[in-house]
């Protein structure tokens, strides 16, 4: 296979991932501000963002730490928020499982909502792609997204409270997930799980330390699995 093919796939991924920087940037800045206000140093904020690279879990963990939540609750919440990554990995395994170990390790680190959504859609649309092309496309997606994530995290931490309230950067948090989730609601099971999580998250919002989110996520996964099983049996 000519080496030019993976390069084209890489740049195709970079092109497809670039629009997400419009949402990832403000999202990362929000975390930088939240972490700065919580007392984290610039090095701690950047290290947190670089190691975890999972915005929702990072924000939830920092806010719980500020609220003096027990560490077990902080860890459990972060794990629950990121539990979807395990499902992402299982979905990508048939396409990328034949990659070398070191490449799979990097993919696991860069497996975020945006990279999964774009990669899984592209792999389904082009099942004939060889593994090197799929890997190149995945890495291409994350070049603009990861650079923006790291850079805007630092910017948010440096500016901190100097960012005026009228900018309302926190708009990026729900929009970032809507941009990923909405196109993925293709089956009744997906819709049922999403609807359940929204209803329960709102109904259980008063539970301490955000534990209602844990309950909502767990029940939503159970509902989605139950609906999927029922649909398969009926089919």
- The predicted pLDDT at position 171 comes to 55
How many CA atoms within 13 Å lie on the side-chain side of 149?
27
pLDDT per position as a tens digit, 67-90: 778 888 888 878 877 877 887 888
Q: Model's pTM, two decimal places?
A: 0.74
Q: How far is CA 203 from the centre of its chain?
A: 24
Instruction: State yes or no: pLDDT of 1 exceeds 60.
Output: no
d(CA 173, CA 28): 9
d(CA 44, CA 82): 20
How many CA atoms within 13 Å lie on the side-chain side of 46?
11
Of residues 14, 79, 105, the one with CA closest to residue 217: 79
What would the two tokens of residue 65 be? 């730490």
Q: What is the mean pLDDT of residues 136-159?
A: 93
What would the two tokens of residue 90 be? 């299982």
Residue 185 vs residue 60, higher pLDDT: 60
DSSP string over 112-160: -HHHHHHHHHHHHH-TT--HHHHHHHHHHHHHHHHHHHHHHHHHHHHHG
């Amino acid at each position: 296979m000519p080496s030019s093919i993976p390069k084209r796939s890489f740049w195709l991924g970079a092109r497809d991932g670039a629009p997400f920087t419009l949402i990832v940037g403000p999202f990362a800045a929000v975390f930088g501000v939240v972490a700065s206000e919580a007392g984290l140093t610039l090095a701690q904020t950047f290290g947190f963002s670089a190691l975890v690279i999972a915005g929702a879990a990072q924000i939830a963990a920092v806010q719980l730490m500020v609220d003096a939540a027990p560490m077990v609750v902080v860890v459990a919440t972060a794990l629950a928020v990121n539990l979807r990554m395990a499902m992402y990995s299982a979905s990508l395994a048939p396409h990328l499982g034949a990659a070398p170990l070191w490449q799979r390790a990097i993919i696991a680190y860069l497996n975020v909502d945006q990279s999964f959504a774009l990669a899984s859609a592209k792999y389904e649309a082009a099942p004939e792609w060889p593994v090197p092309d799929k890997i190149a496309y995945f890495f291409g997606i994350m070049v603009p997204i990861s650079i923006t994530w790291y850079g805007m995290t630092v910017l948010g931490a440096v500016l901190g409270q100097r960012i005026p309230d009228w900018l309302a950067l926190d708009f990026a948090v729900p929009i970032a997930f809507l941009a990923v989730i909405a196109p993925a609601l293709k089956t009744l099971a997906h819709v049922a799980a999403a609807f359940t999580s929204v209803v329960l998250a709102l109904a259980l919002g008063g539970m301490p330390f955000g534990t209602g989110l844990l309950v909502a996520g767990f029940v939503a996964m159970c509902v989605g699995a139950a609906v999927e099983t029922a649909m398969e049996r009926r089919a």
